Each structure stands twice: as C-alpha cells, then as structure tokens.
Amino acid sequence: MKRIEVKLSLSAVAPLLDIIKTAAGSLAWSLAVALPDFARDGEWRDVWARPLLESQNTGLAQLLGLFDSDFFKTGVIAFDEENATSLLRACAAVRLQVRAQFLTALPDAVMETGAVDPVTLDDGTRKALMCHLFLATMQEVIIRHLGNSILEG
C-alpha cells in the first residue's frame, strides 16, 4: 500500500487547527453541500442525508485524527490509499465551511485566483484564508501522490 508522509511546520499549522476544528464541529449535524431539491423533505431526506452525513463525519474524524498527539511530537501527517478519498472529501467540506463562516468578505474571484495580499487582511480573515489554502494544498498532495491509487481502487 502506498503511503505518503508529510512533515509540516508546527508553528505554521497549529494556529490553523482551531479553524479546522471549528468548521468541522459546525458540520457535525449538517452537510457541507445542500441536498438536491427532491431529497430535502420526507423519506428521501433520510435516504440521502443520513449516509452522506455519516460519511462526512467519518472523514472529518479522520482529518482531525491526523493532528493527534503524535503530530505535535513529530510534525508528520500521513495519507494512504485507505484514507485518501475520505480525507479529500473532508478537506473539501471544511474548506466550504471555512469559506461560508470566515471568508464571506472575500469575493469569489479573489478566492479562485488567490489574488489577495494576506497582509491587507485582519488577523482572523488571514488565518482563515491560510487554513483554506493549507487544506487545498493537502488535497493537491493527496491527488498528486495517490490519485492513481484512488481511481484504481
């Protein structure tokens, strides 16, 4: 099984974990993406929402689990073929939530192009933007190094 280990700077990542935890916590009972119209009410909601929410929460737990006590000792997180897809989804869910909770002041065009000088932002917005970019980078690493394994599995 292919495994990727990434050594991170504790001083750079530790401040972002509060935002990740806050966003993940706010997703415990709601999906990061709205259900399709036909699945919003009644029986269909249970059929669609419950398994999606369970899967989302499993991925969020795996994402948060990367940053356990071992991480604070070594600064290392690891991805493998078993957790890659779940982590990709969890990163996407947290990024969507960070965008909705903390980055509403930034226009979509700025978020898509990255054309913002972080120095011009207040501390909270800058930290949220760095968190958003960090999670995007995690997704890129997973896709770059485990993408073929995910597609084949």
Q: What are 110's strand-pairing partners? A: none
Please give the model's pTM, rounded to 2 decimal places. Answer: 0.91
Residue type at 58?
Answer: T
Rounded to the nearest 10 degrees, how much is the dihedral formed by the CA atoms of 68, 71, 77, 80? -50
Where along the chain do its domains lie? 3-152
pLDDT in tens, 38-97: 667 777 777 778 889 999 999 999 999 999 999 999 999 999 999 999 999 999 999 999
pLDDT in tens, 101-125: 999 999 988 888 878 888 889 999 9
